[in-house]
Amino acid sequence: MIQADEILGKILSEEKRLNLNSKVVLKDYIKKYIKIESESTELCVICPPWGFAKYAIRPLESKLTDAKISYIIYSVDQNLLSADYKATRKYMREVIRIIEHDTRQALKLHNFSKVTIVGLSLGTVYATSVGNRIKEINRVILITPGNSIGEIVWDALFTNKLRKTFEERGVSAEKLDRYSKSINPENNVKGLRGKEIIIYASKSDLIIRYNHTMKLVDAMKRKGVEPKLVVNNHLGHYGTNMSFILNPKIITGKHTNIKIPKLSLPNLNMHVGDRVKKIRTDIRSGIKRMRN
């Protein structure tokens, strides 16, 4: 049985969305969408996955609004993850700084009794670091996290071209991890003690492998952090992320009966650009149907 991870991973790889340039300079690489409810006592900060398109997270946005939960949702340029590993660390550090600053500002201006930070996929790098630094954050939810950037890049299904580029330039997974040490999730867990930590993972994840999630869990336990694990066998990476976006009961307290739209898979003989357009169109129309 072909997984969604395999199909989408193949398309992402063929689409050449990964930036393989040796020098990457970015401008306007982070956007934010802020809604503070005047009567709200809860703030939710959403850290996005790689290649995040805002339309894909609108169901979660609408559910937070319905529950009168204030939120800050971020969108980050996909070129943050590139073959210029020095730029990757630089810009990821800056994203972490911005999210931390915005969260602290929101806490100064509003009396929130509960603060949750959510990281989706690669966004768990940002969520772990910010959750580690801000004591007022009392709940951290990580969806398919990994332990380190080097191991994620080396083992993810769609990053084979990036890995090959690194190897050609003499950069190993170990070197990448050493350089990214300050932002790797496994090195940002001490400040999570005493907080509610919830990790969603899939044993069939082909993007951020389950064993990398468990390495992060082990790193947490060594620092006295006891996360709650929610593990599935078959949803894979994209399915686990989307199931949370469509049904964030852990945040809103309300269960959503998910009506998964029937999506037809594109013909693999189609031009890759046409395939990507078809999948995007199907996803958009499916999300609209689920919201109605």
Domains located in the chain, CATH noted: 4-258 (3.40.50.1820)
- Residue 62 is predicted with a pLDDT of 87
**Using the 8-state DSSP alphabet, how is residue 83 labeled?**
S
Query: What confidence tens digit (pLDDT) does each residue in 7-60 have?
Result: 766 665 554 478 899 999 999 999 999 999 888 999 999 998 887 666 667 788
Residue 19: partners with Cβ closer than 8 Å, 6 or more residues away: 78, 79, 81, 82, 83, 84
**Using the 8-state DSSP alphabet, how is residue 48 labeled?**
P
Query: What confidence tens digit (pLDDT) does each residue in 242-258 have?
Result: 889 888 888 887 665 54
pLDDT at 184 over 90: yes
pLDDT above 90: percentage of residues in the chain: 65
pLDDT at 173 over 90: yes
The total number of residues shown for the chain amounts to 292
Question: Which of residues 164 and 266 earns the better pLDDT score?
Answer: 164
pLDDT at 292 over 50: no
- Residue 225 is predicted with a pLDDT of 97
- Helices 4-14, 236-246: inter-axial angle, 10-degree rounding: 100
pLDDT at 134 over 70: yes
